[in-house]
Amino acid sequence: MAEALADEILAMGRSVHFFNGNAADDGFRAQTVSTIKTIITESSGNIGLVLHSLAFGTLTGLVPVNESRAVTRKQLEMTMDVMANSLVYWTQDVVAADIIGPARIFAMTSEGSEKAWPLYGPVSAAKAALESYVRQLGHELADKAITVNAIMAGVTRTPALSKIPGAEALVAKAVAKNPYERLTQPEDVAEAIVALAKPGTHWINMNVIRIDGGESSSA
């Protein structure tokens, strides 16, 4: 899939660089930012868009129920670090490297940040923290012409969704209450982000933007 996407982008006359590694690892992040800075310096460019989308966390209860174990300190801290804190660290590094701006930063959140779902507690906390970071970063980076917003997509069939306990029940509920009577598609989200990244959207900052066809606002 990555190779096919690279070919498609190259056919448009653009260059492509892929970095495959643990996005939450300090060493990988430092090396990647350094390499990006070299590439950008050679092309006299700058980062204009950052999309933070890390779906790796622990799906387990906060307290033990029956014979199930509760989340451990290590699992909870890992989930928070990967899904929320990493946004701060990547932003810190690209700003310190002076390779971003004017720019748009988007972070992917979910409706689970504000609702209780079975075994979603650790991820829910991370998503809530992520939204808080979005607000704070958007405030602190305004003088650099960098906006920061969270994208809350509707229920979308992705590999991450399939790992959530009771995923099919979430799918059925989403379809039933969505005014369009269907799930959100990856293309719905991608097209909205493209529109939000265009000039003229500089006054949209520090928000949670719902891209769900009205799903979350419907009973």
Closest CA to 145 of 11, 12, 46, 9: 46
- The answer to whether the beta carbons of residues 23 and 85 sit under 8 Å apart is no
Strand 100-109 relative to strand 47-52, pairing: parallel
Residue partners of 142: CB distance under 8 A and separation at least 6: 205
Q: What is the pTM of this model?
A: 0.94
Q: What is the pLDDT along the chain (219 residues), one digit of tens a residue?
A: 788 988 999 999 999 999 999 999 999 999 999 999 999 999 889 999 999 999 899 999 999 988 789 999 999 999 999 999 999 999 999 999 999 999 999 999 999 999 998 899 999 999 999 999 999 999 999 999 999 999 999 999 988 888 888 889 989 999 999 999 999 999 999 999 999 999 999 999 999 999 999 999 998
Closest CA to 107 of 30, 204, 170, 193: 193
In the chain, the domains with their CATH numbers are 1-45 (no CATH), 47-217 (3.40.50.720)
